[in-house]
Amino acid sequence: MTATSPQGRTELLRPDGSPVRVLVVDDEQSITELLSMALRYEGWQIRTASDGGGAMQTAREFRPDAVVLDMMLPDMDGLSVLGRMRRELPEVPVLFLTAKDAVEDRIAGLTAGGDDYVTKPFSLEEVVARLRGLIRRTGAADRRSESVLAVGDLMLDEDSHEVSRGGDNIHLTATEFELLRFLMRNPRRVLSKAQILDRVWSYDFGGQANVVELYISYLRRKIDAGREPMIHTRRGAGYLIKPAMAATTTS
């Protein structure tokens, strides 16, 4: 089920209308905190655990709809946790967190059951999107919840990663896609460069804030090219996206 919050953001809900529950397992506190904040902001209920033992215990009584699981834990490795998780909560999808260099195929094997993974350092957009996908697909949330975002004649499919405007297909790079997704999930709302950076770029990104400007520029070239622009600059405040023709009565 989906509901629309007052801000116009769409939230996932469980069939009974209660909020989605997610268990986050990672031994680095900074990571669990970062994720907790971001996921709570999605309107989800979060519990955290810092090791395998705690994870199992919490999982048993919290009954999460999804689990975020770091593959390198102190007491037992992610694999054992995963095994036990599977035995006790076979229905619950898992989003793995792995180091970039971790053996990709091994992870790939694990995700066979409809699970998914994200490599560290990740961007919050990525984690949130993947989790939404998992939850949507495993039916913890209403199945009808769509994977397509639309703002005006601009469409973005979160599953296929296809983007089109007015029917024309548009090819975006990974970063462009995430930026656009973030904008489109917050239509008509000014997003500051800092917010965008925090959300779309990896948490360890240390670069210049003007990458945001740069990527906005790329996006404009691709989706606003020639047409009436949908991406707008609010000088000194940030950027926002909104439908084009809008003879805005809503102001």
Q: Is the dihedral of CA 122, 126, 132, 134 positive or negative?
A: negative
Given the complex with DNA, which of 24 and 129 has the nearer CB atom? 129
The reply to whether 236 sits near DNA by the rule CB under 7 A is yes
User: Quick one: tokens of 65?
Assistant: 């709809």
The reply to whether 188 sits near its own copies by the rule CB under 8 A is yes
Report what 197 binds from its own copies, DNA, none; CB cut-off 5-8 Å by kind: its own copies
Among positions 33, 75, 77, 88, the unique one binding its own copies when judged by CB under 8 A:
33
Please, where are the H alpha helices in the chain?
A: 29-41, 52-62, 78-88, 104-110, 124-137, 174-184, 193-200, 210-219
Report what 217 binds from its own copies, DNA, none; CB cut-off 5-8 Å by kind: DNA
Which stretch, 19-27, 57-65, 144-152, 214-222, contacts its own copies (CB under 8 A)? 144-152
Smallest separation (angstroms) from DNA to the CB of 171: 7
The reply to whether 176 sits near DNA by the rule CB under 7 A is yes
Smallest separation (angstroms) from DNA to the CB of 162: 13
Of 80, 77, 112, 125, nearest in space to 98 by CA:
77
Calpha distance 234→232 (Å, rounded): 7
Calpha distance 251→52 (Å, rounded): 51
Using CB under 7 A, count the residues that bind DNA: 25
Provide the mask over 192-231, with x wherever binding to DNA is found by CB under 7 A and - wherever it is not. -x-------x---xxxx-xx-xx-xx--xx----------
Of 185, 117, 118, nearest in space to 148 by CA:
185
The reply to whether 100 sits near its own copies by the rule CB under 8 A is no
Smallest separation (angstroms) from its own copies to the CB of 211: 11
Q: Which amino acid is at 35?
A: L
Calpha distance 155→164 (Å, rounded): 5
Calpha distance 160→27 (Å, rounded): 33
Contact 151, 230 (CB under 8 A): yes
Smallest separation (angstroms) from its own copies to the CB of 143: 5
User: Quick one: tokens of 188?
Assistant: 């008509």
Given the complex with its own copies, which of 33 and 75 has the nearer CB atom? 33
Map the footprint of its own copies across residues 207-246, applying CB under 8 A. 208-209, 234-237, 240, 242
Residues of this chain that bind DNA (CB under 7 A): 171, 173-176, 193, 201, 205-208, 210-211, 213-214, 216-217, 220-221, 233-238
